Structure 1
Amino acid sequence: MFTGAQDRATAVTGYVAIAAVGVIALVGGVSPGTTGWWWVAYGVFVLAFLLDDLAASGRLGPRRLPARSLLAVGVASALVTWWLAPQASWSAILFVVTVVPAAMTSPPSLTAALIAVQTTAVVAGAARVGAAPHEVVALGALYGAFQVFAAVVVVAGRRQGEQRAALAAAHAQLRAASALLAASSRDAERLRISRELHDVVGHGLTALALELEVAAHRAQPPAVEHVDRARSIAKGLLGDVRSVVGDLRGEVRGLEGALREVVDRTPGLQVVLTVREEVPVGPERALVVVRCAQELLTNTLRHAGAHRFTLDVVADDGGVRLRASDDGAGARRLQPGNGLTGLTERVEDAGGTVRFATAPGRGFTAELEVPA
């Protein structure tokens, strides 16, 4: 539930509010007949909030308690804490704390219902201890407004985070397209130059060498010495041209460069890229790999809430193997959207295979292989 610097700040604010309730209770006290039970209920609330925060941040490993179960425990313990000592009106701040995780993980309708229930509890508790009608209304309006304000701030922050993730994903897609276009343009230009050298200069030098070979047999001294020297120069130039053509064709690889341009400077995400290109990768397979890496990075930015993304690529005689993983929240069950479905179709069209794995608290992993 609480991930990222902004959400950590929200969690810390919650801890401060909860601690303030406990400190005031120690200093001011609660009803003598309910002190013990009040502290039990308060302790349950603190424990539920702490477990939810630790589980959501991944510090407890895989999440075994659903977020809504912990939220339900927190709401119930807050209601009990309030009902045991409604004369301690400051304890109603716990209701504001429970609204924050509810607004983060629940639909707006459920959050609104929770605010209505807790505001009603504030009003009923104040009336129960004999507060004046205007005090009951004021207390209900005050804490109701606090809850609404907290929910609005959280929802706005969540939407802003989603927009940032969408912007980062669009940025990654744009960089991928630019990288592929640049690599394609460079490779096409190298191939064009290599063909021109081979077809024009190479053929011309080959013809020249043959003519000089014939001339060497017909020439008479002292001209034969110059013909032999010219023939040697022509053969040397032909060898140089073939070497340059081979180098230009060998440079048409570009897989690591294209991948690095896709993943570099990704906002809000640490990316670790490892590429072992033991054999050259053709443009068709390179396009499949780069597009898949782009989709996996985009998926992580949009949905994972991750801090780290690892991408390992190996190209050898057997083909290209890619493994991508993140340290995000993960999910109990994988539900591929259009992006992952399109990725699978792209790899299978190239004769390859794809495997996905995810679990709560263990992030998301994808492994794919494109054969040679």
Structure 2
Amino acid sequence: MTYATDARLSAVTGLSAALVAGGAALVSAATGGWQPEPALAAAWGLAFTGYVVVFVLHAEVLVPRPLLPDQVAAVLLLVAGLAVWFLAPDINWMATLFVITAASWASVVPTRAVVAVVAVQSAAVAAGMVLIGADGAGVVGATGAFASFQAFAVVVVGSAERESAARAVSDRAHAELRAAHEELRSTHAELRAATALLSAASRDAERLRIARDLHDGVGHQLTALALELEIAGHRATGDGAPHVARAREIAKDLLGEVRATVSALRDEPQRLEQTLRELLGRLPGVQVHLAVDVPEPPDQEAALVLVRAAQEVATNTLRHAAADRLDVVVSQDDDGALTLRAHDDGRGVPAVVPGHGLQGMAERVRAVGGHVAVDSAPGAGFSVTVHLPARARDHGAVGVREEVVT
């Protein structure tokens, strides 16, 4: 139950008590139990009506929000309640209004002010009982009873206020904890993405280092060996000449193989499927199904754009989708164009408002001549389609590979 619901129930209860007390006074007047002068009856009715109107305007019973400031409403209730009491103290159950007033004050003013109001209204009960000629026992009994009722109402309202405040603090703490959890999930995904990209960059750097070492070390030594064997071949005579010639040919072949290996190492690009699998693997709380049907390796500029797009999709899924599954499919058509399609089974949104992440993705895609399409609906998840035009490089197609990676 929310604080607004608690407040509305309390307001309905207070209004019902006031109307029951006022209705009982009207019944008493109709049956002859209370026979005031017309002017007194009119004044009493005006005061009681004013009390009810002020209560309704402030307590959100019939209005969507309070139409009177808290302090102003509290003072008007006190004045109207005292007027109703002193205009007809012989209707002693109308002191019920003092209980309602005390409860209203307890929710809007400090404790000291509430204690003062209870004291004033209790004194008014005593004065009213004296005015109608009640004996000492009657004065003390009525004063003590209604003072106790007021104190009980104040304690109940105070406890409800403290409980509501504690509940609000707890709700805020839970909301902050959920937000921190979601942030941790998305940060974890971003860290994995950064790790995957760093790993790819590290592999590229290591591959280039090996290529340089082969070229600068083994390649140079083999070149020198081939030259020495060339010279030896011109000077060798007798049975040793064929062996020197054969060694020279072996050195040349080995040098050619080293050069081919260096060239392959320098030219070998990062494979898209491997990077995507490292990027999307083990997303916390989300099962990822990845399918890649592209020639390997693809154009490296396009591959980087697709990897960045997949990273943004994963981050958005963790932060906003509340999804259990994410499907990512990368394909290439006959013209060589690459397409990434991603869809989660999350809550979706009625209207897509691109944030900085989606805008950055669209900018990167447009920079290589492609375009991005997003689609979502409440309960239908979120879909992203990235289409990149054909590039100059062309490789043989491979079969589709699909498996659950988380």
1:326 to 312, 332, 344: 344
Within a 5 Å distance, the mapping from 1:81-160 to structure 2 comes to 96=1, 99=2, 113=4, 115-124=6-15, 134=149, 152-160=169-177
**Closer, same or farther: CA 161–184 of 1 in aligned 2, 3 Å:** same
Query: What residue identity is the alignment partner of 1:116?
Result: A
Asked if 1:273 corresponds to 2:302, the answer is no
Shift of 1:304: 1.3
Superposed CA offset, 1:76-114 (max 9, x none): xxxxxxxxxxxxxxxxxxxx2xx4xxxxxxxxxxxx655
Cross-structure match for 2:373:
355
Aligned to 2:313: 296
Distance in 2 (alpha carbons) for counterparts of 1:168 and 1:235: 56
Shift of 1:127: 6.3
Aligned AA (1:356): V
Please point out which of 349, 358, 366 is paired with 1:340.
358
For residues 49-102 of structure 1, the C-alpha deviation after alignment (integer angstroms, 9 at most, x for no partner) is xxxxxxxxxxxxxxxxxxxxxxxxxxxxxxxxxxxxxxxxxxxxxxx2xx4xxx
- Deviation for aligned residue 1:355: 0.8
> Within 5 Å, which residues of 2 pair with 1:23-42?
none
Q: CA deviation at 1:205?
A: 3.2
1:275, 1:312 within 8 Å by CA — same for their partners in 2? yes
Q: 1:197 to 1:314 in 2, by over 3 A?
A: farther
How many Å separate the matches in 2 of 1:208 and 1:181?
Answer: 39
1:119–1:143 CA contact under 8 A, matched in 2:
no
1:190-222 Cα shifts (integer Å, max 9, x gaps):
123224424553365356446645754664331
Deviation sequence 1:9-55 (CA, Å, 0-9, x none): xxxxxxxxxxxxxxxxxxxxxxxxxxxxxxxxxxxxxxxxxxxxxxx
For this pair of structures, how many residues does the alignment match? 263
Alignment correspondent of 1:60 = none
Per the alignment, residue 253 of structure 1 pairs with: 270
Pair 1:313 & 2:330 matched:
yes
**Alignment gaps of 5+ in structure 1:** 1-95, 100-111
- The equivalent residue for 1:240 is 257
Shift in alpha-carbon separation, 1:218–1:237, aligned structure 2, 3 A: same
Distance of 1:148 and 1:126 partners within structure 2: 26
Task: Tell me which moved more, 323-332 or 233-242.
Answer: 233-242
Q: Measured at CA, do residues 114 and 267 of structure 1 come closer, stay the same or move farther in structure 2, by a change above 3 Å?
A: same
Give 2:39's aligned residue: none
Match of 1:174 in 2: 191
What residue in structure 2 maps to residue 33 of structure 1? none
Distance 2:187 2:379 in 1: 26
Quick one: which of 164, 172, 176 aligns to 2:181? Answer: 164
- Structure-2 residue corresponding to 1:364: 382
> Is the CA contact 1:331–1:358 (under 8 Å) kept in the aligned structure 2?
yes
Q: In 2 relative to 1, CA 343–115 (structure 1 residues): closer, same or farther, beyond 3 Å?
A: farther
In the TM superposition, what is the alpha-carbon distance from 1:345 to its structure 2 partner? 0.9
Q: Is the 8 A contact 2:219 2:255 kept in 1?
A: yes
Closer, same or farther: CA 115–256 of 1 in aligned 2, 3 Å: farther
Q: Which amino acid aligns with 2:311?
A: Q
Q: CA deviation at 1:147?
A: 6.3
* Greater Cα radius of gyration, structure 1 or 2: 2
1:254 shift after superposition:
4.3
Mapped to 1, the partners of 2:381 and 2:235 lie a distance apart of: 79
C-alpha displacement of 1:151: 5.4
Taking the aligned partners of 2:4 and 2:332, their CA distance within structure 1 comes to: 55
Q: CA deviation at 1:359?
A: 0.8
- Structure 1 residues 304 and 370: alpha-carbon distance in aligned structure 2, compared to 1, 3 A threshold: same
SS of alignment partner, residue 279 of structure 2: helix
Q: 1:125 to 1:338 in 2, by over 3 A?
A: farther
Q: In the alignment, what sits opposite 2:243?
A: 226
AA matched with 1:117: R
Superposed displacement of residue 120, structure 1: 2.0
SS in 2 for 1:278: coil
- Whose relative contact order is higher, 1 or 2, with alpha carbons under 8 Å and at least 6 apart? 1
Q: 2:293 and 2:199 mapped to 1: Cα distance?
A: 21
Aligned mates of 1:136, 1:328 — CA distance in 2: 47
248 and 261 in structure 1: CA distance in 2 versus 1, 3 angstrom threshold: same
Q: 3-state SS of the aligned residue for 1:171?
A: helix
Give the TM-score taking structure 1 as reference length: 0.59
Task: State yes or no: 1:285 paired with 2:302.
Answer: yes
Q: CA deviation at 1:253?
A: 1.4
Mapped contact 2:330–2:340 kept (Cα < 8 A): yes
1:226-279 Cα shifts (integer Å, max 9, x gaps): 112212321332243245335534654143333333323322222223334522
